[in-house]
């Protein structure tokens, strides 16, 4: 009754032909029961890694995970991870089992899995194997540890964050004992590598309703472990008629209203992170946050560096945060070109969507037409031949070097200066005219 793709069935049948047991297991079964599309399929078997390789000797196989029992069977429809039943050895450090032990029993393999909804297996001959009532928990929409949650979180602390991640992705609650253990043991996440934390956090952020996850993290006291900077925004009163909510609630609203694009969601999450650092009140008692965009962009960089994010991601998020207040600027054509120049044409619409969600979540009258109009204007500029970036200038670095300029930083600076002039006077974007300006400059400087 489960709709298992034929390349997965094929692998199970091949193993069964050689008298091994084989089941589809884990998240894919959960997703199939829920009627969601599984992100991938995993197969578990009592065959040992060498035996799996033997059964699939006529196939291409990959053995990168062999020490942990995993052989990847390559078929044209996709790669499939086939893993030997495992009981995990003792966890000595709360992160990784000290040794991997194989098992002959499916139920032992299911027992080592994190949550009941992830601990089910299925094949056509046996049907559903569900020793921990995962199906009931799916029905009740709850995330519940397999066995004693304290022990399971002691073994692998990352499971604490995974509980939140699955709750958010599936729209479930966390069962009370599991919840209690998450809360009591959350500080242990300090010991987990930033990379593993980052991956779970990103999944939370990219889910349908990230605010649910962020509220869970807050209520479970996990926020102070993984994103302490955000704790300072909780209950932070803005004393400003344009912002009736506290900063944290505003952030949650903006994240929920942004499209599920990593850069945008991260920028939404961190866009007001500079507010607690820049707060001041004027004579009337109105709150202001001068320069919070720049302070926030720098703070966000540090946070994302700590999370070991790739540099391009950090750079993009920082730009979006630094520029998010430009929604209130009264740009004409030139101003918009300079905005595109600073933000980059690949990020400019991301900035607008961020600003739109920011507006939706601000108090008072929502003035969306300014941004909608601006979007149109930007589109027009991008489609026109008018320059907003150096590559569009009718001369390039080589031309400058021919004029006598020494290759190096100066070339970029000159081009930038020429671009500034071209933005002010588009008719200057002409090879002869630009060469003339550059020649004059060269003579003046030498
Ligand atoms: P996704 O749809 O995000 O891939 P998933 O349930 O497949 O969700 P994975 O992280 O891919 O999650 O893990 C696959 C399966 O391996 C899980 O369903 C679970 O049974 C098991 N598992 C993964 N990580 C752990 C862990 N840290 N502790 C115990 N079991 C785990
Ligand atoms: Mg998976």
Taking a C-beta distance cutoff of 8 angstroms, is the pair 145, 159 a contact?
yes
Domain range 141-225, CATH architecture? Orthogonal Bundle (1.10)
Domain assignments of the chain as residue spans, ordered by start: 6-132, 141-225, 227-383, 392-445
C-alpha 207/C-alpha 312 separation (Å) is: 22
With 0-12 / 13-18 / 19 or more C-beta atoms within 10 angstroms meaning exposed / middle / buried, residue 90 is: exposed
Query: If pLDDT is split at 50, 70 and 90, which confidence band does 241 have?
Result: confident
Question: In this predicted complex, what is the ipTM?
Answer: 0.98
Phi, then psi, of 86 in degrees rounded to 5: -130, 145
Residue 159 Cβ < 6 Å to ligand 1:
yes
Using the mean position of ligand 2's atoms as its centre, give its distance from the Cα of residue 211 in Å. Answer: 23
Return the closest-CA partner of residue 399 out of 442, 367, 357. 442
Residue 269 Cβ < 6 Å to ligand 1:
no
Q: Look at ligand 1, atom 6, and give the residue with the nearest C-alpha.
A: 27
Report the sign of the C-alpha dihedral through residues 299, 288, 261, 35, in that order: positive
Residue 200 Cβ < 6 Å to ligand 1:
no
Residue 134 Cβ < 6 Å to ligand 1:
no
Taking residues 213-223, report their average pLDDT: 98
Say whether pLDDT at 364 is over 80.
no
Residues that place a CB less than 5 A from ion ligand 2: 27
Query: If pLDDT is split at 50, 70 and 90, which confidence band does 244 have?
Result: low
Taking residues 333-352, report their average pLDDT: 97
Using the mean position of ligand 2's atoms as its centre, give its distance from the Cα of residue 39 in Å. Answer: 6
Q: Which listed ligand is nearest to 114 at the C-alpha?
A: 1
**Segment 402-426, tens digit of pLDDT:** 999 999 999 999 999 999 999 999 9
Residue 210 Cβ < 6 Å to ligand 1:
no
Cβ neighbours for 432, distance < 8 A, ≥ 6 positions apart: none
Residue 113 Cβ < 6 Å to ligand 1:
yes
Residue 39 Cβ < 6 Å to ligand 1:
yes
Taking residues 104-129, report their average pLDDT: 97
Q: Look at ligand 1, atom 8, and give the residue with the nearest C-alpha.
A: 27
**Segment 266-277, tens digit of pLDDT:** 999 999 999 999
Query: Which position has the token pair 């593993």?
Result: 196
Q: Which listed ligand is nearest to 162 at the C-alpha?
A: 1
Residue 155 Cβ < 6 Å to ligand 1:
no
- Determine the pLDDT at residue 366: 66
Using the mean position of ligand 2's atoms as its centre, give its distance from the Cα of residue 109 in Å. Answer: 16
Atom of ligand 1 nearest to the CA of 113: 30
Residue 109 Cβ < 6 Å to ligand 1:
no
Say whether pLDDT at 385 is over 80.
yes
DSSP string for residues in 205-235: HTSS-HHHHHHHHHHTT-HHHH-HHHHTTTT
Q: Which listed ligand is nearest to 169 at the C-alpha?
A: 1
**Segment 177-206, tens digit of pLDDT:** 999 999 999 999 999 999 999 999 999 999
Please state which of the four CATH numbers 1.25.40, 1.10.3210, 1.20.1070, 1.10.10 is assigned to the domain occupying 227-383.
Answer: 1.10.3210
Residue 323 Cβ < 6 Å to ligand 1:
no
Q: Which listed ligand is nearest to 199 at the C-alpha?
A: 1
Residue 44 Cβ < 6 Å to ligand 1:
no
pLDDT, the chain, mean: 94
Residue 26 Cβ < 6 Å to ligand 1:
yes
Centre a 10 Å sphere on the Cβ of residue 124 and count the other Cβ atoms it contains. Answer: 13
C-alpha 154/C-alpha 137 separation (Å) is: 23
Predicted structure pTM score: 0.93
Query: In this structure, which topology does domain 6-132 adopt according to CATH?
Result: Beta Polymerase; domain 2 (3.30.460)
- Determine the pLDDT at residue 178: 98
Say whether pLDDT at 441 is over 90.
no
- Determine the pLDDT at residue 277: 93
Using the mean position of ligand 1's atoms as its centre, give its distance from the Cα of residue 296 in Å. Answer: 34
Choosing from 25, 26, 43, 88 the residue with most ligand 1 atoms within 8 A of its CB, the one to mutate for a pocket test is 26
Strand partners, 84: 45
Cβ neighbours for 178, distance < 8 A, ≥ 6 positions apart: 115, 143, 144, 145, 149, 163
DSSP string for residues in 129-154: E-TT-HHHHHHTTEE-BSS-HHHHHH
- Determine the pLDDT at residue 369: 86
Taking a C-beta distance cutoff of 8 angstroms, is the pair 122, 116 a contact?
no
């Amino acid at each position: 009754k489960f709709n298992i793709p034929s390349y997965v069935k094929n692998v199970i049948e091949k193993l069964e032909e050689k008298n091994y047991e084989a089941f589809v297991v884990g998240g894919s079964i959960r997703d199939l029961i829920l009627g969601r599309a599984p992100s991938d399929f995993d197969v578990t078997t009592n065959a040992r890694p060498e035996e799996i390789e033997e059964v699939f000797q006529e196939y291409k196989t990959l053995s990168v995970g062999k020490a942990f029992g995993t052989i990847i069977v390559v078929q044209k429809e996709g790669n499939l991870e086939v893993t030997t039943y495992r009981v995990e050895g003792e966890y000595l450090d709360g992160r990784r089992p000290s040794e991997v032990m194989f098992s002959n029993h499916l139920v032992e393999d299911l027992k080592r899995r994190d949550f009941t909804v992830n601990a089910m297996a299925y094949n056509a001959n046996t049907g559903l194997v569900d020793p921990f009532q995962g199906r009931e928990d799916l029905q009740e929409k709850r995330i519940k540890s397999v066995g004693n949650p304290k022990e399971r979180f002691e073994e692998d602390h990352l499971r604490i964050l995974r509980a939140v991640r699955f709750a958010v992705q599936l729209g479930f609650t966390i069962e009370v004992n599991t919840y209690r253990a998450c809360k009591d043991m959350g500080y242990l996440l300090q010991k987990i590598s930033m990379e593993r934390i980052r991956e779970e956090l990103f999944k939370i952020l990219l889910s349908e309703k990230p605010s649910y996850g962020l509220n869970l993290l807050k209520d479970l006291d996990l926020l102070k472990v993984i994103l302490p900077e955000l704790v300072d925004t909780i209950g932070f009163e803005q004393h400003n008629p344009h912002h009736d909510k506290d900063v944290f609630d505003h952030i949650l609203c903006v994240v929920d209203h942004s499209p599920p694009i990593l850069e945008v969601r991260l920028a939404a999450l961190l866009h007001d992170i500079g507010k607690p650092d820049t707060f001041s009140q004027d004579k009337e008692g109105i709150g202001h946050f001068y320069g919070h965009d720049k302070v926030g962009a720098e703070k966000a960089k540090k946070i994302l560096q700590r999370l070991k994010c790739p540099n391009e991601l950090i750079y993009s998020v920082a730009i979006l945060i630094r520029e998010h207040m430009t929604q209130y600027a009264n740009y004409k054509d030139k101003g918009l070109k300079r905005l595109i120049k600073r933000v980059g044409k690949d990020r400019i619409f991301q900035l607008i969507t961020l600003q739109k969600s920011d507006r939706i979540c601000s108090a008072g009258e929502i003035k969306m037409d300014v941004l909608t109009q601006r979007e149109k204007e930007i589109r027009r500029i991008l489609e026109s031949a008018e320059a907003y970036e150096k590559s569009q200038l009718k001369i390039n670095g080589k031309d400058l070097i021919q004029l006598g300029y020494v290759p190096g930083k100066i070339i970029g600076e000159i081009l930038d200066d020429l671009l500034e002039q071209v933005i002010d006077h588009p008719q200057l974007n002409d090879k002869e005219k630009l060469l003339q300006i550059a020649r004059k400059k060269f003579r003046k400087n030498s």
